[in-house]
Amino acid sequence: MLSRWAHRQGMASDCEISNVFGWNLTEMNTERILSPAAIHEYLETRPAGIRWREWVRRRQYLMTRFHQRSRPLLVIAHFFRDRRAARKIALAIEQDWNETPKSCQDAYDEILFRAPGLIVIQLRQRNVCKCLGHRHPAVREAPFAEPHEAFLGTEIGEIDLAYQDIDKWHPLPLSDSALDAKFLEGSRLEEFHERQFRLKILSIILHEINHLVSPQEDETTVRQRSLTFYRETMAHYAENAISTLSLTIDRSFSRFG
Ligand SMILES: [Zn+2]
Ligand SMILES: [Zn+2]
């Protein structure tokens, strides 16, 4: 159907159409995309007893995706008390990812392409073992541990994140404190720390997805990749922020002038 349409429009093949738009249209027509609405519907129509226990535990699910990627769908499983941290993670995945340089996104393109269609992120404040995150060999989050038609038969993976430990972690102590000093001068330290936290989270999510996709790849290579991602996205953010920082300072001086 598509190729007939293509020929009528004077195009040579499906291939050319994909190149023009940058996507494969044939694949897009047949691939079924996970719907957060269908998953919510499934969660809310489970037996009352199960939902009651979940409500008592105040367990909640926030769904999100990387900008312009239909998969993986990420489900942030969290407790009510951690809802702000859950929203920050969604912000990192949706907005900060979109603002990272293309070379940083490209480093994870293949990994995200091969990732399970649905990934559960178990959000924790701390891990007893002090790790910042793990990949889980099996899905433990109850609603996602059994197959359901809302999942469209997609593979499901699971990771955990210890967000309070991530907040305290200094991946690159020297450059982190050099930037701290710069932003302190510009009095935008809080904004800087917020962004730094979200970029650390993003690099750890990508690190754990990397483990899910290639469990055999050695830790040094996986870590190198995620630290490079963190270093380059931080440098990119700081460069832009510092150039607007000096503008803000200039403007505040001009008010006295
Ligand atoms: Zn651990
Ligand atoms: Zn690792």
210 Cα to the center of ligand 2, angstroms: 8
127 Cα to the center of ligand 1, angstroms: 7
* For the CA of 160, the nearest ligand: 1
Residue type, 120: V
Q: DSSP label at 82?
A: G
Give the 3-state secondary structure of residue 59.
strand
Let me know whether 10 and 40 are in one domain. no
Quick one: pLDDT at residue 179? 82
Instruction: Count how many residues are written for the chain.
Output: 257
Domain limits for position 22 = 1-29
Q: Name the domain count of the chain.
A: 2
65 Cα to the center of ligand 2, angstroms: 22
* For the CA of 223, the nearest ligand: 2
CA–CA separation, 252 and 246 (whole Å): 10
The alpha helices in 9-80, defined as continuous H runs, are 14-21, 25-30, 36-44, 48-57
Residue 206, CB half-sphere, CA atoms under 13 Å: how many?
30
Let me know whether 88 and 62 are in one domain. yes
Q: Are 75 and 120 in contact (CB under 8 A)?
A: yes
* For the CA of 162, the nearest ligand: 1
C-alpha angle 80-84-85 in degrees, rounded to nearest 5: 100
Let me know whether 14 and 116 are in one domain. no
Let me know whether 117 and 8 are in one domain. no
Retrieve residue 42's tokens.
Answer: 């499934």
Nearest to 188 by CA among 243, 133, 148: 243
Let me know whether 131 and 181 are in one domain. yes
Let me know whether 226 and 205 are in one domain. yes
Let me know whether 100 and 223 are in one domain. yes
Locus of tokens 């926030």: 62
Let me know whether 110 and 136 are in one domain. yes
Q: What is the pLDDT along the chain (257 residues), one digit of tens a residue?
A: 333 333 333 333 333 333 444 444 444 456 789 999 999 999 999 999 999 999 989 999 999 999 989 999 999 999 999 999 999 999 999 999 999 999 999 999 999 999 999 999 999 999 989 899 999 999 999 999 999 999 999 999 999 999 999 999 988 877 788 888 778 777 788 888 999 999 999 999 999 999 999 999 999 999 999 999 999 999 999 888 888 766 555 444 444 43
Let me know whether 21 and 64 are in one domain. no
219 Cα to the center of ligand 2, angstroms: 5
CA–CA separation, 95 and 79 (whole Å): 23
* For the CA of 136, the nearest ligand: 1
Let me know whether 241 and 217 are in one domain. yes
Let me know whether 93 and 125 are in one domain. yes
Retrieve residue 36's tokens.
Answer: 């957060």
211 Cα to the center of ligand 2, angstroms: 7
76 Cα to the center of ligand 1, angstroms: 19
* For the CA of 124, the nearest ligand: 1
91 Cα to the center of ligand 1, angstroms: 25
Those residues whose beta carbon sits under 5 angstroms from the ion ligand 1 are: 129, 131
Let me know whether 7 and 102 are in one domain. no
Question: What would you report as the CA-atom Rg of the chain, rounded to the nearest whole angstrom?
Answer: 21
- The residues that bridge with 158 in the sheet, in sequence order, are 120, 136
* For the CA of 206, the nearest ligand: 2
